[in-house]
Amino acid sequence: MKTEPPHPPKGRPRAFDTDVALGRALELFWRQGYEGTSLSDLTAAMGINRPSLYAAFGNKEQLFRLALNRYLRGPAACLGEALREPTARKVAERMLRGVVGQMSDPKLPKGCLVVQAALSSGTEADPIREALAAHRNEARNALRRRFEEAIAGGDLPKGTDATSLAGYLMAVIHGLAVQSASGMSPRELQAIAELAIQHWPA
Amino acid sequence: MKTEPPHPPKGRPRAFDTDVALGRALELFWRQGYEGTSLSDLTAAMGINRPSLYAAFGNKEQLFRLALNRYLRGPAACLGEALREPTARKVAERMLRGVVGQMSDPKLPKGCLVVQAALSSGTEADPIREALAAHRNEARNALRRRFEEAIAGGDLPKGTDATSLAGYLMAVIHGLAVQSASGMSPRELQAIAELAIQHWPA
DNA sequence: CCGTTTTCATACTGTTCGGTAAAATAATGC
DNA sequence: GCATTATTTTACCGAACAGTATGAAAACGG
C-alpha cells in the first residue's frame, strides 16, 4: 500500500496529486450524489481534464467507488470504531454522537454519502445502488453481531432481538442523515441523537 | 373541485384520463425520484405523447408537484390522520405502523417519495428539494404542536422537549423509508417500528 | 357543410451527458 | 540526440436530456 514508487516511472509525470483530486471528487459526490454530479463538475473541481480523469481513475463509476472507499475509511470510520466500545449502549452512544459530530462540521458536506447516493435512482446508477445496499447490509450485520455479544455478555436484556435493534439504530442514523441533508441545524440533530440515547434499552 | 365540467368543452376531447396518467407519473417519481425519471419514461408510462403532457400538466416540475400533492393526500395521508389520535403514544404508533404498512404493500413502490426525491441533487432539482424540505418542516411542526398538546394534557412527561421528540419520530420514519428503498423486507421494517414503539417515552 | 377550438402525432431544437481519438508535451534510458 | 513511455491538451462522438414548432385530426356550434 505504498504510494511512493521506489524508482520514478518512465513516462511523463502526472501533473496533479491523485489523492487531493480524489478528495475533491468525494466532496462533490457527497454533496450532490452520484447522478447529480457530472463529469464536468468533477473535472472542474479536481482541476484536471477529462482524459486525465479516465486515465487515473477508470470512469465515473470506478471513481465513485474509490471515493466511497475513502469516505468509509475516513469520515465514516467512526462507525466501525464504535463497535469496539465495551457495552452496547456505549456503541450506540458513540455512533450517534459520532455522526452528529461529523454532520456538525461546517467544512464537510451535510448528510451521508451512502444515504445520499443510495436514493438517486436512474437506471444507470443501479450498480452503485447495489454496492451501497450491500455495504449497509454488511454494516448492519456487524452491528447485529456486536449486539449478540452484548446480549451474551449481559449488557443488553436477555430477550433483545439483536437484528431488529441493529436495524433500529441504523434507521435512526439514516434518519439523521436525511434531516441533516435537508438543512436541520446541528443542535437539533444533537437533541434528536441524545433523545435516542436516552431511550436506549438498558 | 369538480372534475366533471357541466358542458362538454369546445375542442377535440382529451384521449386520456388525466387522473390515471397522474397516477402513473406518481408511481414513476416515487420509484425513481425526480431527476431519475425522464420525460420519455413518463410519456411511456402514461401512454401519451410529449406535447400532451406539456399541455395537460405544464412541465416536468409542475407535474411532479401535482404528483406530490396526490401522494400527500393519498398514500401519505395516514401521517396527517395520525395526528388526531387521542394520545402522543397512539400518534407515534399509528404513524410508524402506517408507514410500515404502506411500505409492505407489494403493489406500491418502496420507500417514500418525499425522502426519495429530496436527496437527488443536481442543481436543476433545487426548487423541488426546497419544496420537499418545506413540506417536511411543516409536517414536523404539526407533530411538535401535537406533542405540546400532549405534554399539556399529561400523556407525555412534563419535561419532554416536543421539538426534539418530533424530530426523533421523523428521523425514525425517514430511516425506515431509506431502508425500505434499499430492499429491507416488510417484516424487518415492522420489527424496527415495533421496537421504536416499545421504547416510546410513556 | 364550414369555421373554430383543442388535442393529437411527428419531428425537431439546442444543450448536456459520459466517454474517447489524436496529436502535442514532458519525462525516462540509452 | 533519440526512441520510448505516459500524460497532457483540444476536439470530438453518439446518445439522452427537457422542451417545442407544425400540421393533421376530432370534437363542437352554426
Residue–nucleotide distance: B12 CA to C21 C1' (Å): 52
Q: Flag if A119 and B121 touch (Cβ within 8 Å).
A: no
Would you say residue A134 has pLDDT above 60? yes
For chains A and B, count residue pairs whose Cβ atoms are closer than 8 Å.
152
Would you say residue A193 has pLDDT above 50? yes
**Which has the closest alpha carbon to B193: B101, B74, B80?**
B101
Residue B192 in 3-state DSSP? Answer: helix
Identify all chain A residues contacting B177, using CB atoms and an 8 Å cutoff. Answer: 178
Q: Flag if A121 and B31 touch (Cβ within 8 Å).
A: yes
Q: Write the DSSP symbol of residue B161.
A: -
**Which has the closest alpha carbon to A184: A194, A176, A193, A172?**
A176
Average pLDDT, chain B: 92
Cell 457495552 identifies what position?
A87
Q: Which of A161, A171, A195 comes nearest B179 by C-beta? A: A171
Q: Which amino acid is at B63?
A: L
Residue B150 cell numbers, joined: 400532549
* B119: CB within 7 A of chain D nucleic strand: no
Would you say residue B202 has pLDDT above 80? no
Cβ-contact B148, A61 below 8 angstroms: no
* A13: CB within 7 A of chain D nucleic strand: yes
* B168: CB within 7 A of chain C nucleic strand: no
* B53: CB within 7 A of chain C nucleic strand: no
Candidates 1.10.3130.10, 3.40.50.1820, 1.10.1510.10, 1.10.10.60; CATH matching B18-71: 1.10.10.60
- How far does the CA of residue B132 sit from the closest CA of chain A (Å)? 9
Cβ-contact A161, A143 below 8 angstroms: no
Would you say residue B40 has pLDDT above 60? yes
Identify all chain B residues contacting A168, using CB atoms and an 8 Å cutoff. Answer: 172, 192, 195-196
Nucleotides of D under 7 A from a protein CB: 4-11, 16-22, 25-29
Sequence ranges of the domains in chain B:
18-71, 76-198
What would the pLDDT profile of B118-169 be if each residue is shown by its tens digit?
776 778 888 998 899 899 999 999 999 999 999 999 999 999 999 999 999 9
B66-94 b/e (C-beta count within 10 Å ≥ 16 → b): bbbebbbeebbeebeebbebeebbebbbb
Q: Flag if A191 and B35 touch (Cβ within 8 Å).
A: no
Question: Where does the pLDDT of residue A12 fall: very low under 50, low under 70, confident under 90, or very high at 90 and above?
Answer: confident
Q: Say how many CA atoms lie within 13 Å of B8 toward its Cβ.
A: 4
Question: Where does the pLDDT of residue A121 fall: very low under 50, low under 70, confident under 90, or very high at 90 and above?
Answer: confident
Average pLDDT over residues A166-191: 95
Residue–nucleotide distance: B137 CA to D16 C1' (Å): 35
**Which has the closest alpha carbon to A179: B71, B178, B37?**
B178
Average pLDDT, chain A: 92
Q: Which of A116, A133, A195 comes nearest B183 by C-beta? A: A133
- How far does the CA of residue A181 sit from the closest CA of chain B (Å)? 7
What angle, rounded to 10 degrees, do the helices at B162-181 and B88-103 form? 10
Residue–nucleotide distance: B128 CA to D20 C1' (Å): 23
- How far does the CA of residue A19 sit from the closest CA of chain B (Å)? 25
* B2: CB within 7 A of chain C nucleic strand: no
Would you say residue A5 has pLDDT above 50? no
Average pLDDT over residues A5-32: 88
Cβ-contact A60, A150 below 8 angstroms: no
What would the pLDDT profile of B78-119 be if each residue is shown by its tens digit?
999 999 999 999 999 999 999 999 999 999 999 999 998 877
CATH T-level assignment (fold) for domain B76-198: Tetracycline Repressor; domain 2 (1.10.357)
Q: Distance (Å, rounded) from C-alpha B45 to C-alpha B65?
A: 18
**Which has the closest alpha carbon to B175: A62, A89, A48, A164?**
A164
Count Cβ atoms within 10 A of the Cβ of residue A5 and give its class: 0-12 exposed, 13-18 middle, 19 or more buried.
exposed
Cβ-contact A118, B178 below 8 angstroms: yes
Would you say residue B186 has pLDDT above 60? yes
